[in-house]
């Protein structure tokens, strides 16, 4: 999965004087990463969902660097990442009976579990809340990195705030060239959308952010699973969900049929623009020879392709037109959530 070359790209015209290295699996790469982390630096690393921007969760200074680098709002908490043998009882206060079964079934994997915090990590990780979100990623690169540092690593997605999440090392480089010392390259992320965030502080597990581990999968293990939707005007339980997210840097339009997409596309073309249509595979043949990006046919495929396609479109199109896919269940719940946010249809 990880490439074996060591790529050092010179920095482009940024004010920073830091050289950003992209390191694939190679001699000494983990020691290098661990050294940066121990010195309070921020290191980006591959996970199976999206790339993360990691720092020592015990260090106030290191954690605050993440917020500054991303331009992340100060009330949007971070997920702590640990290796599979890390004893999380060191970080949490208590856990409900269903949590062990969920961990056994889904970890390592794309499931973040929110527990009552023991208050051991920097207070900036949870932005003053009394809970802590913990994730055990399955990516071998992430596991090796976390083992090498043997520390909880606070890590949000490695993109500038509001921008599309990164699913390749190059995406991270595009947002943070000259700003961070190192990106641990594990190739393209196979999951493609961020982890499911699950509130494990109540009697019944409750999904705060939908992802690849679905409500149906959790309910099959825990007996039940709720999905949290904040009421109008209420501060959401997962504060990050209140913010604009995943937005490509081009104009966007979101429609529900190929006919509507064609109308918008042709109007943009007449104006001299370079439109493009993003849709599920089944719609492509209805679009004639218009420029299109194929999201795929099933939820897992759409999750895997979505962010790379959004980043591609922002570099080549004046207007990206999204057609809402038809499916709603399973992984599609997470895909639809990201799509609607990317197209500004849900805040």
Query: Which residues are near ligand AMP by CB under 6 A?
Result: 76-79, 114, 126, 129, 131-133, 156-157, 194, 197, 208-209, 237-241
Residue with tokens 């339009």: 253
Q: Which does 77 bind (CB under 5 to 8 A by kind): ligand AMP, Mg ion, none?
A: ligand AMP
138 binds Mg ion (CB under 5 A): no
What does the alpha-carbon distance between residue 322 and residue 340 come to, in Å, rounded to a whole number?
A: 9
Chain centroid to CA 338: 10
What does the alpha-carbon distance between residue 118 and residue 134 come to, in Å, rounded to a whole number?
A: 12
* Distances, alpha carbon 347 to alpha carbons 105, 212, 239, 251, 260, in Å: 32, 21, 12, 17, 23
* Distances, alpha carbon 74 to alpha carbons 29, 64, 137, 243, 321, in Å: 32, 9, 25, 12, 32
Contact, 3 vs 185, CB < 8 A?
yes
157 binds Mg ion (CB under 5 A): yes
Q: Which stretch binds Mg ion (CB under 5 A): 149-157, 173-181, 282-290, 298-306?
A: 149-157
What does the alpha-carbon distance between residue 122 and residue 153 come to, in Å, rounded to a whole number?
A: 11
Nearest distance in Å: CB 71, Mg ion: 12
Q: Which stretch binds Mg ion (CB under 5 A): 10-18, 96-104, 139-147, 154-162?
A: 154-162
Q: Which does 282 bind (CB under 5 to 8 A by kind): ligand AMP, Mg ion, none?
A: none
CB nearer Mg ion, residue 99 or residue 164: 164
CB nearer ligand AMP, residue 137 or residue 299: 137
CB nearer Mg ion, residue 29 or residue 307: 307
Q: Cα–Cα–Cα angle for 94, 153, 35, nearest 5°?
A: 145
CB nearer Mg ion, residue 59 or residue 157: 157
CB nearer ligand AMP, residue 9 or residue 123: 123
Q: By the criterion CB under 5 A, which residues form the site for Mg ion? A: 157
């Amino acid at each position: 999965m990880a490439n074996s070359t060591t790529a050092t790209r010179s920095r482009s015209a940024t004010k920073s004087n830091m050289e950003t290295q992209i390191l694939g699996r190679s001699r000494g790469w983990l020691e290098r990463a661990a050294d940066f982390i121990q010195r309070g630096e921020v290191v980006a690393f591959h996970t199976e969902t999206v790339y993360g921007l990691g720092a020592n969760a015990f260090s106030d200074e290191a954690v605050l660097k993440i917020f500054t680098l991303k331009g992340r709002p100060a009330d949007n908490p971070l997920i702590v990442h640990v290796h599979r043998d890390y004893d999380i009882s060191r970080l949490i206060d208590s856990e409900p009976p269903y949590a062990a079964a969920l961990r056994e079934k889904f970890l390592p994997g794309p499931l973040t579990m929110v527990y009552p915090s023991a208050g051991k990590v920097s207070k900036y990780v949870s932005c003053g809340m009394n809970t802590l979100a913990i994730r055990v990623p399955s990516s071998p690169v992430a596991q090796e990195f976390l083992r090498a540092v043997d520390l909880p690593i606070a890590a949000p997605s490695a993109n500038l705030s509001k921008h599309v999440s990164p699913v390749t090392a190059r995406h991270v480089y595009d947002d943070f060239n000259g700003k961070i010392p190192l990106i641990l390259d594990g190739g393209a992320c196979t999951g493609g959308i961020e982890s499911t965030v699950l509130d494990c502080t109540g009697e019944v597990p409750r999904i705060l952010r939908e992802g690849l581990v679905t409500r149906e999968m959790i309910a099959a293990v825990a007996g039940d699973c709720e999905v949290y939707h904040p009421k109008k005007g209420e501060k959401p339980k997962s504060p990050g969900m209140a913010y604009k997210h995943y937005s490509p840097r081009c104009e966007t339009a979101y429609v529900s049929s190929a006919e509507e997409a064609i109308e918008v596309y042709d109007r943009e073309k007449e104006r001299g623009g370079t439109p493009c249509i993003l849709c599920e595979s089944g719609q492509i043949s209805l679009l004639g020879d218009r420029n299109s990006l194929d999201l795929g046919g099933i939820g897992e495929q759409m999750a895997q392709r979505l962010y790379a396609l959004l980043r591609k479109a922002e570099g080549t199109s004046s207007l990206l037109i999204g057609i809402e896919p038809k499916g709603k269940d399973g992984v599609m719940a997470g895909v639809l959530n990201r799509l609607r946010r990317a197209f500004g249809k849900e805040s």
